[in-house]
Amino acid sequence: MTPPIQFPSDFLWGCATSAYQIEGSPLADGAGPSIWHRFSHTPGRVQDGDTADVTCDHYRRWESDVDLIQSLGMNSYRFSIAWGRVLPEGVGRINAAGLDFYERLVDRLLARGIQPMVTLFHWDLPAALDDRGGWLNRDIAQWFAEYADIVFRRLDDRVKYWTTLNEPWVVVDGGYMHGVLAPGHRNLFEAPRAAHHLMLAHGAAVQAYRASGRNKIGLVVNIEPKYPASQSEADLAATRRAEAYMNRQYLEPALLGSYPKELMDIYGEAWPHWPDADLKIIRQPIDYVGVNYYTRAVVRADPNAWPLGASTVKQKQHTHMETGWEVFPQGLTDTLLWIKDNYGNPPVYITENGACFFDPPQVEGPLLEDPLRIDYLRKHITAVYNAMQRGADIRGYFAWSLFDNFEWAFGFSKRFGLVHMNYETLQRTLKASAHFYAKVIASRGAALTE
């Protein structure tokens, strides 16, 4: 008989959100607009014309939302700060009301026994900085470090876990390569520059943190493990390119101080030669790696797929989410062991993991029964445990997401929440998965096998 699952008593159990996706009131109390505010207000960019002007109204309901998190037994909560609430123009003038909001939030979380994990950048770049080139302007490393330093000095006496960037790959691939996310550019020459400047900003913020901070700071990356569709030379090479592009382009400079050589094959003449001095700035010792995991990809060579020459082969035998993402829990174990074996077994937090499904229709009322989400959580949290049993240093798990919320270019059409959001009444209602996750937390994982 296998012994019952039992996670360590100091394991962090929480859920994750981001500012633009849940707060609403994006211009309240002196905040400057973000590129996501602009993007969502540009016709044709977001599905159904949705914007996050109201979304979950968390900016006004934060107190009861913290109580809700506590009621689920979570001991941590991952959220992001909207840069433009703190600095309306992105640099220079501080907007006191913006910082005050996050200070009140942190204080209430701590009063409820919930550790905040604070992300400094979850995609909502101040529009004023985009007007100066945004991530294409090398000065942004300094702008970001200055913003980060202001927040550190105000909150590091209370916040133990900091994150510089959330998923630089998504920012670049969606925002500068394919144009589906803000700021909506589609340009092979811009993408590597934006990527490099994101990493310089990460390094500069970590440097600033070492001067004033006392706790822990890390980087959050999305990892989607790549498996070859066949053993043909073409498919194996395509798989290596896909893995370098999505999984190693950001981890390797941050942790090893170099870029994967495959990037030169992908970008060709669009790949600049970056000076070694830059890679020294990027490779700052960090205290943990945050991993966002949703799915895997089975990869085949595809000359028509720009710019990678690789595409994903759908695995029809498996369940898929509404986003088309395959449900593949083993990929999470594989990802965590891959990090352990290739990057020196750093402390890791699963900073996002979750699913959106069409939950079974009910005659009336919100969709509260979500067995597919429960199944997803059960199998993925077990996958985390399996990696820990094999030596991976995993310190915590954050479900994406607390609420159904503004799912970027999908608008409100995709629901990832443990808690159902009624966008008319703004009523929050626990789904069955929220009750399930609370039981997993209370039993330190034992409820996974019930």
Positions marked active-site: 352
- Residue 262 within binding range of ligand PNW, rule CB under 6 A: no
Of 255, 309, 246, 322, the closest CA to residue 282 belongs to 255
CA dist list (Å): 416 to 60, 309, 322, 412: 21, 31, 10, 10
Work out the angle between the directed axes of helices 96-111 and 58-71 (0-180°, nearest 10): 10
CB 18 within 8 A of CB 71: no
Count other C-beta atoms under 10 Å from residue 57's C-beta. 17
- Smallest separation, CB 181 to ligand PNW (Å): 8
Per CB under 6 A, does 243 bind ligand PNW? no
Q: Which residue's CB is nearer to ligand PNW, number 208 or number 242? A: 242
Which of 224, 252, 334, 370 is the binder for ligand PNW (CB under 6 A)?
A: 224
Instruction: By CB under 6 A, tell whether 292 contacts ligand PNW.
Output: yes
Nearer to ligand PNW, 59 or 400 (CB): 400
Minimum distance between the CB of residue 80 and ligand PNW, rounded to whole angstroms?
9
Q: Which of 164, 407, 412, 445 binds ligand PNW (CB under 6 A)?
A: 407
Using the rule CB under 6 A, give the single segment among 48-56, 84-92, 139-147, 164-172 that binds ligand PNW: 164-172
Among 222, 247, 311, 335, binds ligand PNW (CB under 6 A): 222
Measured from the Cβ of residue 242, the count of other Cβ atoms closer than 10 Å reads 25
Instruction: Please tell me whether residue 50 binds ligand PNW under the rule CB under 6 A.
Output: no
Chosen residue from 397, 400, 412, 437 binding ligand PNW by CB under 6 A: 400
Which positions from 333 to 362 touch ligand PNW by CB under 6 A, shown as an x/- string? -------------------x----------
Nearer to ligand PNW, 18 or 284 (CB): 18
Nearer to ligand PNW, 130 or 224 (CB): 224
Q: Does 247 bind ligand PNW (CB under 6 A)?
A: no
By beta-carbon proximity to ligand PNW, the closer residue of 62 and 294 is 294
Type of residue numbered 441: I
Q: Least distance from C-beta 91 to ligand PNW, angstroms?
A: 25
Per CB under 6 A, which of residues 88..127 are in contact with ligand PNW? none
For residues 39 and 175, what is the distance between their CA atoms, to the nearest angstrom?
11
- Per CB under 6 A, which region of 96-104, 129-137, 163-171, 201-209 contacts ligand PNW? 163-171
Half-sphere exposure of 431 (CA within 13 A, CB side): 28
Binding test (CB under 6 A) with ligand PNW, winner from 11, 12, 18, 339 = 18
Smallest distance from the beta carbon of 69 to ligand PNW, in angstroms? 18
Q: Contact region for ligand PNW (CB under 6 A) — 107-115, 125-133, 165-173, 326-334?
A: 165-173
Among 94, 110, 150, 170, binds ligand PNW (CB under 6 A): 170
Q: How many residues bind ligand PNW (CB under 6 A)?
A: 13
Question: Which range touches ligand PNW (CB under 6 A), out of 62-70, 137-145, 166-174, 425-433?
Answer: 166-174
Residue ranges that bind ligand PNW, judged by CB under 6 A: 18, 21, 166-167, 170, 222, 224, 292, 294, 352, 400, 407, 416
